[in-house]
Structure 1
Amino acid sequence: EEDAQVVIVDWEGEPVALGYYRGGAIHLQTRFGGEREPLENARRSTIDDVLKANALFLEELVSKALAFIHVMREKTSDRPLLVSFSGGKDSLVALHLTLKLGLDPIVVFNDTGLELPETVETVYRTVERYGLRLEVASAGDAFWRAVEFFGPPAKDYRWCCKVAKLGPMARLVNSRWPRGALNIVGQRAFESLDRAKTPRVWRNRWFPQLLNISPIQYWNSFMIWLYIFREKLDYNPLYNLGYERIGCYMCPASSLAEYNYVSRTHPTLWKRWWSVLEKWRCKLCLPPEWSRHGLWRWLGPAEQKLRLARRLGVEESVLRWRDWFEKWSWHRPKPEEKKEDRVAIVFGEKLDSKPLAEQAPVLGKSCSVGGEGGRVVVETPTVLYSFDGVRLEVVGKHVHGDRLLEEAFDALKIVYRGNYCVDCLSCESNCPRRAIKVVGGRPVVDATKCIACRLCLDVCPIAEVYVEKIEVVRLLGKIYASKRPSKRRISDIVEKAKTLHRLAAEKVEKKPEETVPWTTIFGTG
């Protein structure tokens, strides 16, 4: 009972303190008799002692988790049941809890191509042990191909998740469960601040068809391990080598200690990543500490990065971010003109202008495409775009100021992704009308299907990560330019994705007089 008073006793059953129960934990209030003499012949506690001491609390957590899964499954009984299994301890517990209820889930493994061999082996061994069906969202070597263009990922430059995780997962979901499914995930609030903000039930904007639930959201790591030992689960052997987390072995969210583990236990894999870091360090003219001490884990001059650089004596290299952003940039576009009704951007090297024509419908449902001599002109009712491979000009007819600048940035994104598409197929997977296809290594849009929702831009790692984090920052001269007020908000993107995917999955056919135009819902965009 909440706020109930409790008596705390020692191993011999003697009362030693008073406390109270609140928020799922016992809080110490008053101790008796001051310091106690240490017990003579005290023995070391065994795991059985620990399990016995925490049995009631663990059982309460398990009961709540099982009840949560049961209720959510009853509410979604008409949909397939999935369990996302990464090969780590948390998803192992989530899977076992699901099996405890007698359910028969489909196991989904997101193979990023960056998992350690033991993790992949654990996934297949676990699936075979319980006789479950396995579906794999595989990224293949997508990360290694993409890193040549993007450069090393960072905590504030997470293109890797889109290429190696979200893209492959979206493709799998669209092909297997387009009408939705219940997905049980081993996610915990104690893992990170972002996950602490995530509710127990949520949808991902990349595959909103899935209803994700986390039955262990409020478990701590100690309780996870107690459950594993109590149930004698076959966990990933990497934990016995000292690994604290399981996942992409070069994740920018990892600590230097974790990289050290990888370099010692899997030297060949680490050498491959180290060669990438050194290649980019030399390209950006940065000191050895950038690679050696993990300064690459942040793109911009974050406070934590500055503190570390200060201790290493290389703070200046972090503060002159504008210099190495210039070296990071491909084709180094510069602002030539910025007026209320006109924006012009000039590239340092020539690009192919065809992508603007091939993706023109994204800029407006009612658009016309023209031009000659390598110059492409796209005209919508509100904006005129032109690009000759060097100069991108955007003229507003009924759009001005910051909104026109956003139109210029969207055109810039189209140019870059058309010239440097990394074949992640995120645009294909997320388009609710299947209007975009990657043909010959570049996106092409079908004007008869496209509704100009621009969702394909918002999920594209080149458009949403590279252009926003590198090129827009350079053009505006502000390190946090991607957070500007005029940019499309993530909340709007999420709602748009959910609505479009739901309508696409349902394939609703209405009478002409009942049909609501897409532009009424989302604007001409």
Structure 2
Amino acid sequence: MDLLSKEVEAISFLYQQSENRKLAVSFSGGKDSLVVLDLCTRVGIEKVVFSDTTIEFKENLNFIKTVEKVYGIKIDVVSSNNDFFDVVDRVGFPSRRLRWCCDVFKFGPLAKYAIDKNLDGYVTGLRRAEAKTRADYFDVDNNQMVPISQINPILNWEEDDVWEYINEHNLPINPLYEYFDRIGCWCCPFQSMTEWDTLEKYFPELMEKLEAKLDQFADQIGIKDKEQFIKEKKWTGWATAQSKSPAGTRKLCDSGEKNTIDLGFFGNSEKEVKKISKLLPILTDDYFTIGKSLRITVDKNKKQRVNTLIEKCMNCVGCGACTALCPLGALYVENGLITVDENLCTKCEKCLSTKVLRGACIVRNYAPNRKTITSYH
């Protein structure tokens, strides 16, 4: 199929998908999402959102402004409540084996935006040819971390199609393509050695910043061969051994009525217990606190969910990743901690599921040091 045919097909598909639906373009600054943005403006889809991961090249941020001027639009910018390196200090570096960064800095903010704007779908520039992992994607798909549809109008386009479209329609080109074949976070662990060499050559100040942070991280986790870990990029495939710190005890107090049980939690401080009580309405309204202790009444089949909720609270650093799991936007970060809006929460418990977001919490699953509780049945 030639480009014109693909273009007509994409526009027809977008007209169909946008009928009586509120869609927004998920724009990254890259060539693929630029083509999709252009196609969307041709069919009247005007809302565009960019997720600032806080580790964007400044050239990319400037390009976002250029695109706004060219199209005469306002691109909404969303971001996490945290800086990438602040979260690294608490969780450790992401790697090819520890892929927590997108949950925090992309999917969390995009999920919140989708709920706040009452969107029905995001239009993306995903293409099957980009990676083998995208071979099974569909034109209309879903990302489990974002509660709306994912619309992929150029899924079957090749890279040559993308560049041909850009040249034929005289679209602006991100200046970063002078250096890289793809646009993304400047310290992404999935970069090739060629891309790392390019970063060091043309953006030495960024490489220096990264290596200084990696040096601190290497000391923290006891790396002996820093040359191999940092310079040879072994950190990109690293998975840190985890240690556990006791944070309290959960005991069965009473078998309760026919379908419920009474559980007691004995924590290390009143502050920690108050933190837990803020999230307990996700599971039950039947609880009370006494100093460093909690008495909780829940359905008998929810003992494990109680453990998950408590450890989620104990490990929370306010990264906001889990807010993406709530389809109603009941979870939010306040004063650096995850909190629930009881008026919106339906107790669906999706935010406690460990299948979508591992451990139901970034720190609980990925951090080198995490807090755990001891359970006595």
Indicate the residue corresponding to 1:368 in structure 2.
287
Letter in 2 for 1:83: V
How far residue 333 of structure 1 moved from its aligned partner, in angstroms, is: 6.7
Asked whether the equivalents of residues 107 and 145 of structure 2 are also in contact (C-alpha less than 8 Å), the reply is yes
Alpha-carbon distance in 2 for matches of 1:474, 1:426 = 18
Say which SS state the counterpart of residue 359 (structure 1) adopts: helix
Relative distance call for 1:224 and 1:347 in structure 2 (3 A) is: farther
Root mean square deviation of aligned Cα: 3.7
Indicate the residue corresponding to 2:258 in structure 1.
none
Alpha-carbon distance in 2 for matches of 1:430, 1:290 = 34
The answer to whether structure 1 residue 408 and structure 2 residue 307 are counterparts is yes
The answer to whether structure 1 residue 90 and structure 2 residue 32 are counterparts is yes
Indicate the residue corresponding to 2:141 in structure 1.
202
Indicate the residue corresponding to 1:224 in structure 2.
162
How far residue 63 of structure 1 moved from its aligned partner, in angstroms, is: 1.8
How far residue 160 of structure 1 moved from its aligned partner, in angstroms, is: 1.4
Indicate the residue corresponding to 1:142 in structure 2.
83
Indicate the residue corresponding to 1:309 in structure 2.
none
Say which SS state the counterpart of residue 150 (structure 2) adopts: strand
For 1:259-408, what aligned pairs fall within 5 Å after superposition?
259-286=196-223, 287-288=225-226, 289-300=228-239, 324-326=241-243, 331=245, 352-364=272-284, 366-370=285-289, 372-382=290-300, 399=301, 404-405=303-304, 407-408=306-307
Alpha-carbon distance in 2 for matches of 1:126, 1:76 = 22
Which of 115, 118, 127 is 1:174 aligned to? Answer: 115
Alpha-carbon distance in 1 for matches of 2:340, 2:163 = 50
How far residue 434 of structure 1 moved from its aligned partner, in angstroms, is: 5.1
Indicate the residue corresponding to 1:443 in structure 2.
338
Relative distance call for 1:155 and 1:347 in structure 2 (3 A) is: farther
Asked whether the equivalents of residues 95 and 189 of structure 2 are also in contact (C-alpha less than 8 Å), the reply is yes
Percent identity of paired positions between Structure 1 and Structure 2 = 26
Which of 43, 50, 65 is 1:124 aligned to? Answer: 65
Relative distance call for 1:425 and 1:98 in structure 2 (3 A) is: closer
Asked whether the equivalents of residues 279 and 309 of structure 2 are also in contact (C-alpha less than 8 Å), the reply is no
Indicate the residue corresponding to 1:77 in structure 2.
19
Which of 155, 160, 171 is 1:233 aligned to? Answer: 171
The structure having more radius of gyration, on CA atoms, is 1
Relative distance call for 1:237 and 1:66 in structure 2 (3 A) is: same
Asked whether the equivalents of residues 188 and 220 of structure 1 are also in contact (C-alpha less than 8 Å), the reply is yes
Letter in 1 for 2:164: L
Alpha-carbon distance in 1 for matches of 2:66, 2:96 = 32
Letter in 1 for 2:177: Y
Indicate the residue corresponding to 2:375 in structure 1.
none
For residues 494-514 of structure 1, what are the alpha-carbon distances to aligned partners after superposition, in whole Å with 9 as ceiling and x for unaligned?
xxxxxxxxxxxxxxxxxxxxx
Point out where structure 1 has 5 or more consecutive residues left out of the alignment: 1-56, 301-320, 383-398, 476-525
Alpha-carbon distance in 2 for matches of 1:349, 1:363 = 22
The answer to whether structure 1 residue 455 and structure 2 residue 353 are counterparts is no
How many residue pairs match? The answer is 360
Relative distance call for 1:264 and 1:412 in structure 2 (3 A) is: same
Alpha-carbon distance in 2 for matches of 1:258, 1:116 = 14
Letter in 1 for 2:30: G
Letter in 2 for 1:468: N
Asked whether the equivalents of residues 214 and 230 of structure 2 are also in contact (C-alpha less than 8 Å), the reply is yes
Alpha-carbon distance in 2 for matches of 1:125, 1:271 = 28
For residues 377-410 of structure 1, what are the alpha-carbon distances to aligned partners after superposition, in whole Å with 9 as ceiling and x for unaligned?
322132xxxxxxxxxxxxxxxx4xxx75564344
How far residue 280 of structure 1 moved from its aligned partner, in angstroms, is: 0.9
Q: What TM-score, normalized to structure 1?
A: 0.60
For residues 308-356 of structure 1, what are the alpha-carbon distances to aligned partners after superposition, in whole Å with 9 as ceiling and x for unaligned?
xxxxxxxxxxxxx6xx423xx5x3679999xxx9999999999823222
Indicate the residue corresponding to 2:151 in structure 1.
213
Alpha-carbon distance in 2 for matches of 1:171, 1:336 = 33
Alpha-carbon distance in 1 for matches of 2:230, 2:312 = 29
For residues 90-123 of structure 1, what are the alpha-carbon distances to aligned partners after superposition, in whole Å with 9 as ceiling and x for unaligned?
1122223334x45352222222221112112222
Alpha-carbon distance in 1 for matches of 2:84, 2:62 = 21
Asked whether the equivalents of residues 170 and 426 of structure 1 are also in contact (C-alpha less than 8 Å), the reply is no
Asked whether the equivalents of residues 311 and 371 of structure 2 are also in contact (C-alpha less than 8 Å), the reply is no
Alpha-carbon distance in 2 for matches of 1:298, 1:410 = 30
Alpha-carbon distance in 1 for matches of 2:210, 2:337 = 27
Alpha-carbon distance in 1 for matches of 2:201, 2:29 = 21
Indicate the residue corresponding to 2:56 in structure 1.
115
Indicate the residue corresponding to 1:156 in structure 2.
97
Letter in 2 for 1:415: M
Asked whether the equivalents of residues 52 and 77 of structure 2 are also in contact (C-alpha less than 8 Å), the reply is yes
Relative distance call for 1:190 and 1:76 in structure 2 (3 A) is: same
How far residue 470 of structure 1 moved from its aligned partner, in angstroms, is: 5.1
> Quick check: 343-352 or 250-259, which moved more?
343-352
How far residue 126 of structure 1 moved from its aligned partner, in angstroms, is: 2.0
Alpha-carbon distance in 2 for matches of 1:462, 1:351 = 23
Point out where structure 2 has 5 or more consecutive residues left out of the alignment: 256-260, 373-377
Structure of greater relative contact order (alpha carbons < 8 Å, 6+ residues apart): 2
Alpha-carbon distance in 2 for matches of 1:332, 1:298 = 29
Alpha-carbon distance in 2 for matches of 1:104, 1:448 = 33
Alpha-carbon distance in 1 for matches of 2:93, 2:368 = 16
